Amino acid sequence: VQLQASGGGLVQAGGSLRLSCVASGRTFSTYTVGWFRQAPRKEREFVAAISWTRDTDYADSVKGRFTISRDNAKNTWYLQMNSLKPEDTAAYYCAASPFRRPQTDGYDYWGQGTLVTVSS
């Protein structure tokens, strides 16, 4: 099983990026899928998640700016990031969990990070 995250890059503050996570090796249509991030010298933190019933959850720091979505037919999920701020700079990781509202340790599958850098 592999989760391949992509879409990171360098963007100016106020700009937008869309991250994608393509899964292979199994279907995740009955999994909660999500995004985490880790900035330099900081702990990994939750960003957003979407359950198989399409309930969404967001970190307070990204509410109203980021939108998570999924396309089960493509076994892919996305993170649309708007109004980016320098503090959003981090490596972003996609993940999948069999639980509906998992804690971080409830995610069984993790992708590699894609780096997002927001310049001021």
Question: Could you read off the pLDDT of 40-92 as tens digits, one per residue?
Answer: 999 999 999 999 999 999 999 999 999 999 999 999 999 999 999 999 999 99
Q: What is the pLDDT of residues 93-119, one digit of tens each?
A: 999 999 988 888 899 999 999 999 999
Number of Cβ within 10 Å of residue 27's Cβ equals 10
Which string of b and e fits 66-99 if b means at least 16 CB within 10 Å? bbbebeeeebbbbbebeebeeebbbbbbbbbbee
pLDDT over threshold 90, residue 30: yes
- What is the residue whose two structure tokens read 């393509």? 22
Q: Which residues pair with 18 in a beta bridge?
A: 80
